[in-house]
């Protein structure tokens, strides 16, 4: 029974990867024991294809990727499942874990150190410095960076824009002009969900546009109360409310927003570049059916989230398989294959950007400008720990859905949160992951 089930699962993957089905079904019982239980939150159509691609690459190495995908925007559900499984003494072999959370779990001594793999594959020399530092804790490598997502991305239906002779909005004035013309034609100018994490994703992009990376880090990484009473925060809140008139915000998953843009029901979408992969999966070609530009005010900046997998310690029986997976994930060909399907860009700085599509190339080059132009996403767990992130998201969502809540009140509440939670260390570790 066990062998048949494993063979059937590998056959499902193998049909996409040619001869993999044959080799998978011929594995011995001993080889089948080399199974890695992988917990993550890649559940959209395009994300599933990216995860399946990694499973195929692992199968070619004689190992099985046992999928444990947990739905839920921004990974909220997956993090809860990971905590409950760990408390029950049954952590997965591999889990998606990003940002300061890597340090938090590292302090508990639960993560496998990957120092031998990192040295052997020259990760420190080949990876972007920000990606390398992200997986460091007390001079040990505790994770594998997979890809870099750019959050501050404005997608637009290119064919629609060409047919209507609309300019690509480079600033908010041009955005307003385009939005008016789209709305006059019965098209929703800006696709937007009222889900809390999606509203907050738009908001953090506006904060970056108003203040730049230094101010953004002051607010969300350093958590300075002064940053929340600043006029730049007030302008970002005002912009968020002004944008509502160009939306039809209902609570819906982000892939539905991509579908709206693909069907020309909406003209534009502000979302991380995982939306690019979803648009590709809907039949739109990057640079033809749709294209992208940075959100107005953020042209030179990169608001980032980095996909990362960590390995959990066990009795040692699966360590060789975990290290094999870690080694595989950073190989140049796998990096290109995975990130093309996921919508992100490779964490390696030694690749040729000509191998990337127009949107990916712009993202990779913006990130390559260095830390001064980079800002870690709060909503997507790069800037702070869960408690502070959740509290900020709740305040911004309340402001967005209730027009009776004024910006000054939100600023006071956010400043109070920064004072109350500003000494817990999430931001400190995000800036100094070697500690």
- The pLDDT, as a whole number, for residue 72 is 74
- The pLDDT, as a whole number, for residue 431 is 42
Mean pLDDT for the stretch of residues 201-222: 98
Q: Is 105 in contact with 310 (CB distance < 8 Å)?
A: yes
Mean pLDDT for the stretch of residues 122-129: 97
- The pLDDT, as a whole number, for residue 299 is 95
Judged against a pLDDT cut of 90, whether residue 243 lies above it is answered with yes
Whether residue 395 lies inside any domain: the answer is: yes
**Higher-pLDDT residue of 28, 113:** 113
**Do both 284 and 327 map to the same domain?**
no
**Do both 287 and 315 map to the same domain?**
no
Say how many residues make up the chain.
435
Query: What's the pLDDT tens digit per position in 287-340?
Result: 999 999 999 999 999 999 999 999 999 889 999 999 999 999 999 999 999 999
- The pLDDT, as a whole number, for residue 197 is 96
Q: How far is CA 278 from the centre of its chain?
A: 14
Domain hosting residue 102, numbered range: 34-150+306-355
Angstrom distance (rounded) from CA 108 to CA 91: 13
Judged against a pLDDT cut of 70, whether residue 344 lies above it is answered with yes
Q: How far is CA 3 from the centre of its chain?
A: 35
- The pLDDT, as a whole number, for residue 74 is 67
**Do both 95 and 39 map to the same domain?**
yes
Query: What's the pLDDT tens digit per position in 57-77?
Result: 999 999 999 999 998 766 878
- The pLDDT, as a whole number, for residue 134 is 96
**Do both 176 and 213 map to the same domain?**
yes
CATH number at residue 290: 3.40.190.10
**Higher-pLDDT residue of 422, 215:** 215
- The pLDDT, as a whole number, for residue 343 is 96
Terminal alpha carbon distance of the chain: 48
Query: Which among 325, 355, 385 is the end of a domain?
Result: 355
Angstrom distance (rounded) from CA 62 to CA 95: 20
Whether residue 250 lies inside any domain: the answer is: yes
**Do both 411 and 278 map to the same domain?**
yes
Mean pLDDT for the stretch of residues 261-267: 98
- The pLDDT, as a whole number, for residue 422 is 72
Phi-psi region of 406 (alpha: psi -120 to 50; beta: other; left: phi over 0): beta
Domain count, the chain: 2
**Do both 59 and 182 map to the same domain?**
no
**Per-position b or e across 391-401, b if 16+ CB within 10 A of its CB:** bbbebbbebbe
Query: What's the pLDDT tens digit per position in 148-186?
Result: 999 999 999 999 999 999 999 999 999 999 999 999 999
Which one, of 66, 73, 121, 72, lies nearest residue 94 by Cα?
A: 66
Judged against a pLDDT cut of 80, whether residue 285 lies above it is answered with yes
Q: What is the DSSP string of 239-259?
A: HHHHHGGG---B---HHHHHH
* Interior angle at CA 209, CA 205 and CA 212, nearest 5: 110
**Do both 331 and 381 map to the same domain?**
no
Judged against a pLDDT cut of 60, whether residue 430 lies above it is answered with no
- The pLDDT, as a whole number, for residue 434 is 35
Mean pLDDT for the stretch of residues 96-102: 92
**Do both 105 and 203 map to the same domain?**
no
Cβ neighbors of 90 (< 8 A, separation 6 or more) are: none
Q: What is the DSSP string of 90-139?
A: ---SEEE--TTHHHHHHHTT-BPP-HHHHHHTTHHHHB-HHHHHHTEETT
Q: What pTM did the predictor assign?
A: 0.88
Whether residue 1 lies inside any domain: the answer is: no
Whether residue 18 lies inside any domain: the answer is: no
If you ran DSSP here, which 8-state letter would residue 405 be given?
Answer: S
Judged against a pLDDT cut of 80, whether residue 194 lies above it is answered with yes
**Do both 321 and 298 map to the same domain?**
no
Judged against a pLDDT cut of 90, whether residue 32 lies above it is answered with no
Distances from the Cα of 321 to the Cαs of 64, 110, 342, 390, 423, in angstroms?
Answer: 9, 17, 24, 35, 39
Angstrom distance (rounded) from CA 25 to CA 20: 9
What is the percent of the chain with per-residue pLDDT over 90, rounded to a whole number?
84
C-alpha dihedral sign at 318, 319, 323, 329: positive
3-class DSSP state for residue 155? strand
**Do both 236 and 384 map to the same domain?**
yes
Query: What's the pLDDT tens digit per position in 367-404?
Result: 999 999 999 999 999 999 889 999 999 999 999 999 99
**Higher-pLDDT residue of 6, 112:** 112
Whether residue 112 lies inside any domain: the answer is: yes
Angstrom distance (rounded) from CA 366 to CA 292: 14
Whether residue 12 lies inside any domain: the answer is: no
**Per-position b or e across 342-380, b if 16+ CB within 10 A of its CB:** bbbbbbbeebeeeebbebbebbbebbeeebeebbbbbbb
Q: What is the DSSP string of 317-385?
A: TTHHHHHHHHHHHTSHHHHHHHHHHHS-EESBSSS-GGGS-HHHHHHHHHHTT-GGGEEE-TTTTSSS-
Label residue 251 exposed, middle or buried (CB < 10 Å: 0-12, 13-18, 19+). Answer: exposed
HEC per residue, 266-316: EEEEECCCHHHHHHHHCCCCECCCEEEEECCCCCCCEEEEEEEEEEECCCC
Whether residue 27 lies inside any domain: the answer is: no
Predicted confidence band of residue 199 (pLDDT cuts 50, 70, 90): very high
What is the percent of the chain with per-residue pLDDT over 70, rounded to a whole number?
89
**Higher-pLDDT residue of 20, 148:** 148
Q: Is 274 in contact with 344 (CB distance < 8 Å)?
A: yes
- The pLDDT, as a whole number, for residue 75 is 80
Query: Which among 293, 325, 355 is the end of a domain?
Result: 355
Strands 345-346 and 144-150: antiparallel
Angstrom distance (rounded) from CA 8 to CA 365: 42
Q: Is 187 in contact with 164 (CB distance < 8 Å)?
A: no
Judged against a pLDDT cut of 70, whether residue 22 lies above it is answered with no
> What is the average pLDDT value for the chain, to the nearest integer?
90
**Do both 171 and 40 map to the same domain?**
no
**Do both 220 and 344 map to the same domain?**
no
Whether residue 25 lies inside any domain: the answer is: no
């Amino acid at each position: 029974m066990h062998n048949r089930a494993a063979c059937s699962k590998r056959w499902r993957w193998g049909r996409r990867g040619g001869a993999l089905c044959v080799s998978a079904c011929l594995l011995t019982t001993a080889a089948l024991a080399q199974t890695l239980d992988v917990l993550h939150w890649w559940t959209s159509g395009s994300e599933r294809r990216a995860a399946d691609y990694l499973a195929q690459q692992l199968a070619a190495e004689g190992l099985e990727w046992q999928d444990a995908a947990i739905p839920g925007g921004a990974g909220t559900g997956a993090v809860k499942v990971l905590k409950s499984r760990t408390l029950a003494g049954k952590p997965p072999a591999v889990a998606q874990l990003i940002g300061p959370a890597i340090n938090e779990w590292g302090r508990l001594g639960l993560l496998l150190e990957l120092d031998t793999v990192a040295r052997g594959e020259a990760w420190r020399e080949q990876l972007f410095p920000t990606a390398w530092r992200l997986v460091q804790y007390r001079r040990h490598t505790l994770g594998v960076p997979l890809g870099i997502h750019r959050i501050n991305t404005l997608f637009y239906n290119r064919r629609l824009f060409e047919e209507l002779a609309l300019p690509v909005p480079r600033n908010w004035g041009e955005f307003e002009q385009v939005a008016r013309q789209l709305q006059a034609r019965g098209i929703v100018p800006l696709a937007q969900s009222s889900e809390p994490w999606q509203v907050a994703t738009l908001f953090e992009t506006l904060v970056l546009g108003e203040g730049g990376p230094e101010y953004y880090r002051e607010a969300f990484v350093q958590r300075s109360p002064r940053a929340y009473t600043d006029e730049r925060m007030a302008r970002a809140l005002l912009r968020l409310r002004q944008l509502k008139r160009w939306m039809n915000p209902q609570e819906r998953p982000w892939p539905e927003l991509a579908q709206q843009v693909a069907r020309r029901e909406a003209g534009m979408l502000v979302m991380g570049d995982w939306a690019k992969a979803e648009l590709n999966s809907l039949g739109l070609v990057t640079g033809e059916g749709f294209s992208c530009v940075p959100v107005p005010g953020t042209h030179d900046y990169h608001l980032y989230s980095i996909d990362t997998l960590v390995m959990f310690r066990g009795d040692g029986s699966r360590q060789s398989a975990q290290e094999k997976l870690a080694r595989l994930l950073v190989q140049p060909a796998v990096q290109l294959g995975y990130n093309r399907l996921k919508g992100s860009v490779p964490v390696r700085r030694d690749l040729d950007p000509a191998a990337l599509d127009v949107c990916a190339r712009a993202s990779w080059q913006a990130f390559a400008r260095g830390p001064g132009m980079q800002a870690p996403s709060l909503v997507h767990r790069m800037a702070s720990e869960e408690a502070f992130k959740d509290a900020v998201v709740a305040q911004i969502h309340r402001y967005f859905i209730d027009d009776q809540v004024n910006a000054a009140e939100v600023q006071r509440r956010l400043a109070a949160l920064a004072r109350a939670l500003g000494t817990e260390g999430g931001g400190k570790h995000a800036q100094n992951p070697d500690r």
